[in-house]
A and B are shown apart, each in its own frame.
Chain A
Amino acid sequence: MNAIISISRRSFIIGVASTAGGLSLGFNVPFIKPALAEGSETAPEINAWVVIRPDDTVVIRIARSEMGQGTLTGLAQLVAEELNCDWSKVTTEYPSPAQNLARDRVWGNFSTGGSRGIRESHEYVRIGGAVAREMLIAAAAAEWGVPASECTARMGMVTHAASDRATFYGQLAAAAARMTPPANVTLKDPKDWTIAGKPLPRLDTADKLNGSQVYGTDLKLPNMLNAAIRACPYFGGKVESFDAAAVAGMPGVRTVVQVDETAVAVVADTWWRAKTALDALPIVWDEGPNRQVTSASIAAMLEEGLGANDAFIGARQGDAGTALSAAGRTVTATYAYPYQNHATMEPMNATALYTPERCEVWVPTQNGEASLAAAAEAAGLPVQQCEVHKIHLGGGFGRRGNFQDYVRQAVSIAKQVPGTPVKLMWSREEDMLHGAYHPTTRCRLTGALDADGNLTALHMRISGQSILAAVRPEGMQNGMDPVVFQGLVLSGTEGTLGYTVDNLLVDHAMRNPPIPPGFWRGVNLNQNALYVECFMDELAHAAGVDPLAFRRKLMAKHPKHLAVLEAVAERIGWDNPPAAGVHRGLAQIMGFGSYVAAAAEVSVTDGQLRIHRIVAATDPGHVVNPAQVERQVEGSFVYGLSACIYGECTVNGGRMEQENFDSYEVLRMAEMPDVETIILPSGGFWGGVGEPTIAVAAPAVLNAIFAATGKRIRTLPLKNHDLA
């Protein structure tokens, strides 16, 4: 991530601050129709969030990106709840990032990551719906010459009972748009919700059943060309030379261009022809400084950090060092977590149209504003002359937020064929070789047990890669990456450790190999939960105490952590023996503002693992759509178990070795366990849903594998281990 983008992004953040105090309403800036949104420009905009057409269709604007997680439906439910509209008439559209900038960021943050889609915007989108409702009531009251306080709004209709009059929102919209928005509105108590909080079907399903949903890869524009790209596979390397003439005459080829210092692209009439020519194109790479880097050299670098003197402290209580040296009995174990690729099903892509005056980009993005900043920078144009059209994503998982490499590439290519739209799509191989990888870390844990088997001291030394140092240095705190300690800190609302240990030290020796890291669904909570929850199991075993009982003793001051753990234990039948040959494991953690736990039932027969059943629980405070929460939790086990069993990108010769799904396997149907989800919203806070339960998948299963085999697996993935 370079400086120019950081500056642009910071200016966006300043924009947020200036409007954070309340909703901007009553704008004069005309709304520009996004290319892919349903047309609403002729229908009255009540406010930024709500457009109502004469036929009573309610268009709800959604600033966050839909990538399968259901946030589109959930956010629409929140607006509709306060609007008191007819849910069956709701449709949605994305406002564009340029519109957001032009309108003083009226839609707030577009970034869709960190499980923040709903928990960070629930209040202002509900206010948006409530304000629009009051404006509709005011319009009806004015028309009827009655006090607004005598009118009610329900199911898309305003009623004045005293005079027996009623009218639909569609008839009121034009007048409502001219009303002064109320300064204050009162939001409903969630217990009174009738649209939000309900397991409503998704709004985006129909088009996903018949091929009509247009993804970025499917985009068609007049005169559009297609580009296939190959970037230097060696991290830190670049293009030395390429022989464009060798492929210039191949069918469909229009041009061969260099893309920045690092990549070469072939532009052709179809993508297949572009790729075919690219495969035939002689390219010489400057392999850069990292040819000696291997997984083994990275492991050695991290191993050194495990014993290093200097480390950043993430959590400290009492004096762990002294307590451990004085302890009668200590337990030590070292765990490791590998690089992993997001492997979204839809490969990275972006379509760009450049002229010297304007640059437009169509892209599946988790952060439309980051895409806009990247487009402007790559185009060399003021951001006001650029536009980004958001498209639903074929998976995001963190790859399409902070990282806009494909946008920069698409614009760089389009700049070399001005006036012609170019769709850039990566091959799967390109996607695997140029990830923003789940960082690799190791952790050495040392715990002290007293004579009664109580944990009296714990030191967790994490060694390894910082994501922020590489991609968001402005988030570092005096050289420390606070995100490294997800789920392990002692205070805050994002993710605290659920155990009270009198003498505790969690510290981080930062070791940054030259491999680009990124935010990968669940981020650092994934390995941190693995480390702490598998080690708790080890300690319980060493103490000769049941793993649930061992944890309970440390969780008295952490009732919400304990509640989800107790819930999964009860549902899986922890107190009763499992079926013959079946074994159980537990894990809990807090992350992304939610408390989560899992219990797994597995069997291992002749070394073959079978995961029979997962029970998961989450307490996200409030639930906007329980059906979507259930699906996110269930899906998170596909992601988490893929990582646990298969996920590993290995480095050799300064590049990744895995290039496709044949060498980077993921979980498939046959291995998918039953997942039962327990939703325990305790109220009073808003936690995230998309990510946290991923983190408990691997530790619950590894603890169950220990119960089954007596083998303690401390490095992922499982495919590298013999369970026989």
Chain B
Amino acid sequence: MARLIINGTPRDIEVDPDTPLLWVIREQIGLTGTKYGCGVAACGACTIHIDGVATRSCALPVSAVEPDQQITTIEGLSPDSSHPVQQAWLALDVPQCGYCQAGMIMAAAGLLMQNPNPADEDINAEITNICRCGTYNRVRAAIKLAAKAGEATQRG
């Protein structure tokens, strides 16, 4: 039995402690927005937040998560796609096939929480998710747009 707080809701789950958090989220909680891409934390499709920190969930055993840690998935980033990153993604029409995009959005939101105004080098260092369709340049532009929107919110 494991207790997890996912998108603000505590969940008690019967699970083998070695199960990667990704599969608990997808198959036991039933939230499938977080994707499997590699299983070795190389591609970032499985990125979620743990206490606000972008984390790859596919190689993280569920037993490594403390019962009081806050897990946020793409479904919980905002109730209505209104998070500044999601809004920037919409404004620039970022996704192509979209499969990697939940991970991209979570990685970008995590970056902006740590660094509200990231330079290109910061984006390069932190956003190492793989996209095969080729959305990288729009991802970069959308992160900058979201950063600007965040600045405006803070000022306003």
Contact = CB atoms under 8 A, between A and B. Distances in A.
A204 interface: yes
B93 interface: yes
Given A344-B132, A638-B136, A271 B123 contact: no
Nearest to B106: A211
Interface centre among B81, B89, B95, B97 (most CB of A within 10 A): B97
A191 interface: no
A226 B32 CA distance: 14
Given A210-B86, A428-B39, A662-B42, A205 B127 contact: no
A68 B96 contact: yes
A393 interface: yes
A669 B140 contact: yes
B42 A638 contact: no
A211 B34 contact: yes
Interface size band for A? 35 or more
A175 to B, nearest CB: 37
Contact of A669 (B20, B77, B89, B128): B128
A672 B93 contact: no
Interface stretch (A160-168, A215-223, A297-305, A375-383): A215-223
B71 to A, nearest CB: 14
Interface stretch (A104-112, A114-122, A316-324, A629-637): A629-637
Given A270-B23, A638-B134, A217 B97 contact: no
Nearest to A673: B137
Given A346-B99, A394-B99, A428 B137 contact: no
A682 to B, nearest CB: 25
Contact of A210 (B20, B81, B94, B132): B81
A314 interface: no
A717 to B, nearest CB: 16
Interface string B133-156: 111111110000000000000000
Contacts of A213: 98
A631 B138 contact: yes
B127 A669 contact: yes
B36 A217 contact: yes
A639 interface: yes
B93 A272 contact: no
Interface in B83-110: 86, 89-90, 93-102, 105
Contacts of B128: 668-670
B74 A211 contact: yes
Contact of A270 (B28, B77, B105, B139): B28
B23 A69 contact: no
A428 B38 contact: yes
B16 interface: yes
Nearest to A397: B132
Contact of A201 (B73, B93, B97): B93
A688 interface: no
Contact of A395 (B86, B99, B127): B99
Nearest to B102: A211
A545 interface: no
B19 interface: yes
A315 interface: no
A211 B73 contact: yes
A347 interface: yes
A428 B135 contact: no
B34 A345 contact: no
Interface string B112-136: 0000000000011101111111111
Contacts of A208: 95, 98, 101
A666 interface: yes
A250 to B, nearest CB: 10
Given A217-B36, A345-B131, A668-B128, A205 B95 contact: yes
Contacts of B136: 638, 667-669, 672
B78 to A, nearest CB: 8
Given A209-B95, A345-B45, A675-B137, A669 B124 contact: yes
Contacts, number: 168
Given A272-B27, A670-B124, A395 B133 contact: yes
A217 B138 contact: no
B90 A209 contact: yes
A210 B74 contact: yes
Contact of B43 (A270, A272, A345): A345
Contact of B133 (A251, A270, A638, A668): A638
A627 to B, nearest CB: 7
Contacts of A270: 23, 27-28
B139 A271 contact: no
Interface in B1-58: 16, 19-20, 23, 26-28, 30-40, 42-43, 45
B137 A661 contact: no
A395 B97 contact: yes
B36 A205 contact: no
A592 B42 CA distance: 33
Nearest to A432: B38
A627 B37 contact: no
Contacts of A639: 132, 134
Contacts of B139: 669
Interface centre among A208, A345, A392 (most CB of B within 10 A): A345
A669 B123 contact: yes
A130 B20 CA distance: 53
A204 to B, nearest CB: 7
A28 interface: no
Nearest to B16: A251
Interface centre among B90, B93, B100, B132 (most CB of A within 10 A): B132
A674 interface: yes
A214 interface: yes
A33 interface: no
B37 A205 contact: no
A69 B32 contact: no
A272 B46 CA distance: 14
A212 interface: yes
Contacts of B35: 215, 217, 345-346, 394
A67 interface: yes
Contacts of B101: 208-209
A672 B31 CA distance: 31
A70 interface: yes
A661 B36 contact: no
Nearest to B140: A669
Contact of B75 (A67, A210, A226): A210
A183 B125 CA distance: 60
Contacts of A347: 36-37
A672 B100 contact: no
A674 B133 contact: no
B44 to A, nearest CB: 9
Contacts of B123: 669
Contacts of A215: 35, 99
A204 B38 contact: no
30 contacts: A67-B97, A68-B98, A202-B95, A209-B81, A209-B89, A210-B81, A213-B98, A272-B27, A344-B132, A345-B37, A345-B43, A345-B131, A346-B97, A394-B97, A394-B98, A395-B99, A395-B132, A425-B36, A428-B38, A631-B96, A631-B134, A635-B96, A635-B133, A635-B134, A661-B38, A662-B42, A669-B139, A670-B128, A672-B140, A674-B137
Interface of B: 16, 19-20, 23, 26-28, 30-40, 42-43, 45, 73-75, 77-78, 81, 86, 89-90, 93-102, 105, 123-125, 127-140
Given A211-B75, A346-B35, A638-B132, 4 more contacts: A206-B81, A207-B98, A395-B133, A636-B134
Interface of A: 67-70, 201-202, 204-215, 217-218, 220, 226, 251, 270-272, 343-347, 392-397, 425, 427-429, 627, 631, 634-639, 642, 660-662, 666-670, 672, 674-675
Give the top 3 A-B pairs by smallest Cβ distance, nearest first. Answer: A211-B33, A635-B134, A68-B97
